[in-house]
C-alpha cells in the first residue's frame, strides 16, 4: 500500500508535549509569570508558542526565549523516558519490509537528532526534516510535501502519522492518508479529521504494508 511512512515526532514517536509544557511554565514562573494551569501547546511551533506566552512585547519575548534555550540545556529532554517504546521497533519493521520512514517535526533539527541518537532510530530513518527548515509551519503541508519530494514518493504512496489537529490538517492537505495516534489519558485532542485513529504505532504497520504484507515497489 505505502512506500513511505512520515512520522510526526512530538506526541507520536516521543511523548514530549507534557514535558515541554511543564518546562516552559517552570522557567517562566521563575521569571515572575503566573499560571492557573499548564497551557497545552500540542502540535504548535516554537514561534507561535512564545508569541502566545509573551504577547505584545517582542523585545521581552526575545530575551525570555533566549534564556529559555539556556534553561533547556540545563534541563534536557529525557528522551529514553519519554520515547514511545513502539517507535523504533515499528520503524525497524517497516524498513525491513521496504517501507522508508521519515520524521517530519516542528521541533528544532537538533532535537530530532537528539531523539534519533538517544533511541537508536538513526538506521531506520531515511529522512528527518524540521519545520524550522521550511517557510511555513503546520498546518501548512510544506514539511510533508518537501519530505515526499526528497524521498521521491508521491502523496498517494505515503502514510502520515500525527496526533494533533494542526498536524493532521497538514497531513491531509498534503494529499496523504493520515493515521492519528490516540493521545495518552488526560490529553484531549480533536482527531476527527484523520482518516483513522490508532491506539498503537503497531497498527500503522498493516496500514502501510497492506494485505500482501509487503510494500509496493
Per-10-residue mean pLDDT, the chain, length 217: 95 92 96 93 88 95 96 95 97 98 95 96 98 94 98 98 96 98 87 97 96 51
- Domain shared by 61 and 161, yes or no: no
- Domain shared by 110 and 197, yes or no: yes
Looking at the structure of the chain, the number of domains it has is 2
- Domain shared by 96 and 49, yes or no: no
Burial per residue of 14-38, b for 16 or more beta-carbon CB atoms within 10 angstroms, e otherwise? bbbbbbbbebbbebbeeeeeeeeee
**CATH no. for residue 178?**
3.40.50.1000
Does residue 215 lie in a domain region? no
Does residue 88 lie in a domain region? yes
Last residue of a domain, one of 74, 99, 114: 74
- Domain shared by 31 and 9, yes or no: no
Sign of the C-alpha dihedral computed for residues 131, 135, 137 and 143 taken in this order: negative
Last residue of a domain, one of 31, 47, 74: 74
**What is the model's pLDDT at position 196?**
98
- Domain shared by 105 and 199, yes or no: yes
- Domain shared by 22 and 87, yes or no: no
CA dist 165 and 162 (Å) reads 8
Residue listed under C-alpha cell 498517494: 156
Residue 144 is part of which domain span? Answer: 4-15+81-209
- Domain shared by 121 and 155, yes or no: yes
- Domain shared by 114 and 192, yes or no: yes
Q: pTM for this one?
A: 0.87
**What is the model's pLDDT at position 175?**
98
- Domain shared by 111 and 202, yes or no: yes
Last residue of a domain, one of 74, 103, 122: 74
Strands annotated E in the chain: 4-7, 100-105, 127-130, 158-162, 177-181, 196-198
**What is the model's pLDDT at position 210?**
87
**What is the model's pLDDT at position 212?**
53
**What is the model's pLDDT at position 33?**
96
Amino acid at each position: 500500500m505505502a512506500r513511505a511512512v512520515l512520522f510526526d515526532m512530538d506526541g507520536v514517536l516521543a511523548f514530549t508535549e507534557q514535558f515541554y509544557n511543564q518546562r516552559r511554565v517552570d522557567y517562566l514562573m521563575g521569571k515572575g509569570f503566573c499560571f492557573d494551569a499548564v497551557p497545552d501547546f500540542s502540535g504548535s511551533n516554537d514561534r507561535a508558542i512564545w508569541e502566545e506566552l509573551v504577547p505584545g512585547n517582542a523585545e521581552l519575548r526575545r530575551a525570555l526565549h533566549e534564556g529559555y534555550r539556556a534553561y533547556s540545556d540545563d534541563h534536557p529532554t529525557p528522551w529514553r523516558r519519554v520515547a514511545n517504546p513502539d517507535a523504533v521497533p515499528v520503524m525497524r519493521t517497516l524498513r525491513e519490509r521496504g517501507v522508508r520512514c521519515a520524521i517530519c517535526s516542528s521541533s528544532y533539527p537538533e532535537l530530532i537528532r537528539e531523539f534519533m541518537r538517544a533511541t537508536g532510530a538513526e538506521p531506520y530513518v531515511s529522512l528527518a526534516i524540521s519545520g524550522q527548515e521550511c517557510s511555513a509551519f503546520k498546518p501548512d503541508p510544506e514539511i510533508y510535501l518537501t519530505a515526499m519530494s526528497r524521498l521521491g514518493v508521491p502523496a498517494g504512496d505515503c502514510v502520515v502519522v500525527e496526533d494533533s489537529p494542526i498536524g493532521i490538517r497538514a497531513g491531509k492537505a498534503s494529499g496523504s492518508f493520515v493515521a492519528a495516534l490516540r493521545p495518552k489519558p488526560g490529553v484531549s485532542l480533536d482527531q476527527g479529521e484523520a482518516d483513522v485513529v490508532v491506539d498503537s504505532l503497531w497498527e500503522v504497520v498493516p496500514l502501510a504494508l497492506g494485505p500482501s504484507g509487503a510494500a509496493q515497489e
